[in-house]
């Protein structure tokens, strides 16, 4: 009898007691084990009490929905020093499942969640947590909500499409059955993105949007390794993203935990007013993601200068600058993609990640690259490993980019990340030479080629306040002076 009573009590706790009450007993707002902004250097993240740099790459945007060989994929990333993953809440590929159950006619029931979808989500977060990896979730993915994209992406497949569910009609919900246009950098007429009180106040659809978010948070808030982004690129009205950022933060506060939120604008010009809305609302958007700077408006030195522009814009409220997507050859060529990884790190960004190799959907392509991204290909693995080795030599809590201390010769691209008066690292993206201003004395140095993943060409040099550095060749090199 005692065993039965204990079981009933256990069952009552997990079915009646609110989730937030349970969670508040195991985590507090000042819990240092959670991902948080570094108190020593707010341009970086802190996790488990240490200031960290986030580096990553992966074969899909929505890794949680690709369970085949997923654990192996995470182990490969971890083996080269990767600790950063993107996860769009998407269902667009072969083998993916949707968030809702279907009836006998194949229509979704938005009142019945699909356990497999959410089990995949939780298993992914758990495996990431076990490997000390940070997951950046992107809530609303345009690839699922406009014209068709890949195998099951697009409005024609989406459960919220009135033609696909039993819960409301187009007339009742105000949502169309057909969307034939794609996402763009400016607001469209898509009513899915106007449901919030500040816009159309569409209570029918907003009810189901909130139920989906509540289910997501009931899982993710239990994990300390999660960052939250409201969209994968959006040009829709900012009120929609504002509403969801506030909603996420309210739910986290009720659960007694700290989370960090942002939104990702679709426009490529990070100096535009569209991005300024995110930059200038630090209480709502506690970090920023400038992935679109890694597109056509951000090549070469301009790419680096744009990051410094954002740092200056955020200087009154410094916070991490994430780069969850670094495109491949289609945006400037493969060498430019590699160079962007280096420039992001040496501009003091908080994260850098290779984009996925679209359009590959089969797991046999898990380590391929494409024009869209280097993913977790062998080359990407080497770059991640080398960047990790170079930055592990530094105390990130006391580093900053110092372009004022380095003067490249001719057209050389040389970028400096300094732990001032102690250690200096310079990244050469395509060879050349540069003058570096450092204190006088004897300095030890060593080089690492981003393609090799090991230190080489070490020695000593003397400084009279200025030293000339010459890259070994035209490949991607980092020199450390200490």
Torsion-angle region of 198 (φ positive above 0: left; ψ -120 to 50: alpha; else: beta): alpha
Q: What is the pLDDT of residue 21?
A: 37
Give the residue-averaged pLDDT of 211-217.
98
Sheet of 226-231, strand order: 84-88, 134-140, 226-231, 261-262
Q: How many CB atoms lie under 10 A from the CB of residue 429?
A: 27
Strands (E), 232-286: 261-262
Convert the pLDDT of each residue in 170-179 to its tens digit.
Answer: 999 999 999 9
Question: Is residue 112 within 8 Å of residue 101, measured between CB atoms?
Answer: yes
DSSP 360: -
Arithmetic mean of pLDDT, 414-438: 97
Phi then psi dihedrals of residue 230, to 5 deg: -75, -30
Higher pLDDT, 180 or 9: 180
What pLDDT, on the 0 to 100 scale, is given for residue 214? Answer: 98
- Kindly tell me if the per-residue pLDDT of 25 is higher than 60: no
Q: What pLDDT, in 10s, does the model give residues 75-125?
A: 999 999 999 999 999 999 999 999 999 999 999 999 999 999 999 999 999
> Measured between alpha carbons, how far is 482 from 477 in angstroms, rounded to an integer?
17
pTM here is 0.93
Torsional class of 3: left (φ above 0), alpha (ψ -120 to 50), beta (otherwise):
alpha
Q: Which domains does the chain have, with CATH numbers?
A: 31-397 (3.20.20.80), 402-481 (2.60.40)
At 265 the three-state DSSP class reads strand
How far apart are alpha carbons 470 and 477 in whole angstroms? 10
Among 28-42, 272-286, 419-433, where is mean pLDDT lowest? 28-42
List residues bridging with 265 in a β-sheet: 234
Confidence category of residue 29, pLDDT binned at 50, 70, 90:
very low
What does the DSSP 8-state code read for residue 67?
Answer: -
Residues 6+ apart with CB under 8 A from 254: 20
How confident is the model at residue 31, as a pLDDT? Answer: 64
82-91, 296-305, 364-373: which range is least confident on average?
A: 296-305
Indicate the DSSP class of residue 44: S
Provide the angle, in degrees to the nearest 10, between the axes of the packed helices 334-346 and 378-392. 20
60: three-class secondary structure by DSSP: coil
pLDDT digits (tens, 9 = 90+) for 254-293: 999 999 999 999 999 999 999 999 999 999 999 999 999 9
For a pLDDT cut of 70, what percent of the chain falls above it?
94
Contacts of 235 (CB under 8 A, 6+ apart): 183, 184, 185, 186, 187, 188, 265, 266, 267, 274
Task: Please report, for residues 146, 180, 260, 265, 294, the alpha-carbon distance to residue 154 in angstroms, rounded to integers and kept in the order given.
Answer: 5, 9, 28, 19, 24
Q: Radius of gyration of the chain from Cα atoms?
A: 24
Dist. CA 229–CA 138, nearest whole Å:
5
DSSP code string of 172-227: HH---S-------SS--S-GGGG-STTTT--HHHHHHHHHHHHHHHHHHTT-SSEE
- Residue 363 CB neighbours (<10 A): 18
For residues 121 and 64, the answer to whether their CB atoms sit within 8 Å is yes
Is 151:361 a contact under the CB 8 Å cutoff?
A: yes
Residues whose CB is less than 8 angstroms from the CB of residue 339 and which lie 6 or more positions away in sequence, other chains included:
300, 413, 429, 430, 476
C-alpha span between 85 and 129 (Å, rounded): 11
Measure the CA angle with vertex 66, ends 62 and 67; round to 5°: 135
């Amino acid at each position: 009898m005692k065993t039965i009573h204990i079981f009933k009590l256990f069952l009552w706790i997990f079915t009646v007691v609110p989730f937030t009450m349970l969670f508040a007993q195991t985590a507090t707002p000042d819990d240092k084990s959670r991902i948080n902004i570094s108190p020593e250097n707010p341009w970086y993240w802190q996790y488990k009490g240490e200031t960290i740099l986030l580096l990553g790459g992966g074969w899909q945007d929505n890794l949680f929905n690709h369970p085949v060989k997923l654990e192996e994929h995470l182990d490969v990333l971890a083996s080269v020093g990767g600790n950063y993953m993107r996860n769009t809440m998407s269902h667009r590929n072969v083998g993916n499942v949707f968030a809702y159950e279907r009836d006998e006619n194949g229509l979704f029931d938005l009142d019945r969640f699909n356990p497999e979808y959410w089990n995949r989500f939780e298993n992914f977060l758990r495996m990431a947590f076990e490997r000390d990896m940070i997951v950046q979730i992107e809530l609303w993915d345009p690839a699922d909500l406009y014209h068709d994209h890949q195998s099951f992406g697009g409005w024609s497949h989406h459960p919220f499409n009135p033609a696909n569910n039993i819960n409301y009609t187009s007339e009742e919900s105000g949502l169309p059955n057909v969307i034939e246009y794609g996402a763009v950098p400016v607001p469209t007429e898509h009513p899915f993105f106007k449901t919030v009180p500040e816009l159309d106040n569409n209570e029918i659809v907003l009810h189901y949007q909130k139920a989906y978010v509540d289910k997501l948070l009931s899982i993710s808030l239990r994990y300390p390794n999660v960052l939250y982004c409201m969209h994968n690129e959006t040009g829709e009205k900012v009120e929609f993203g504002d509403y969801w950022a506030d909603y996420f933060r309210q739910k986290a506060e009720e659960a007694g935990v700290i989370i960090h939120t942002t939104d990702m604008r679709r426009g490529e010009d990070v100096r535009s007013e569209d991005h300024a809305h995110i930059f200038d609302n630090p209480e709502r958007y506690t970090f920023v993601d400038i992935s679109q700077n890694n597109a056509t408006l951000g090549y070469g030195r301009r790419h680096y200068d744009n990051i410094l522009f954002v740092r200056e814009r955020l200087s009154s409220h410094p916070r991490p600058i994430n780069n969850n997507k670094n495109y491949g050859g289609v945006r400037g060529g493969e060498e430019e993609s590699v160079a962007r990884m280096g420039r992001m790190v040496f501009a003091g960004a908080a994260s850098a990640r290779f984009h996925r190799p679209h359009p590959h959907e089969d797991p046999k392509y898990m380590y391929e690259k494409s024009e869209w991204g280097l993913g977790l290909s062998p080359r990407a693995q080497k770059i991640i490993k080398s960047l990790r080795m170079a930055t592990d030599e530094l105390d990130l809590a006391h580093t900053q980019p110092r372009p004022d201390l380095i003067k490249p010769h001719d057209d050389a691209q040389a970028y400096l990340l300094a732990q001032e008066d102690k250690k200096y690292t310079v990244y050469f993206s395509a060879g050349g030479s540069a003058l570096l201003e450092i204190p006088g004395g004897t300095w030890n140095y060593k080089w690492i080629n981003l393609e090799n993943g090991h230190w080489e060409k070490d020695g000593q040099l003397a400084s009279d306040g200025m030293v000339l550095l010459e890259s070994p060749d035209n490949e991607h090199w980092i020199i450390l002076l200490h």
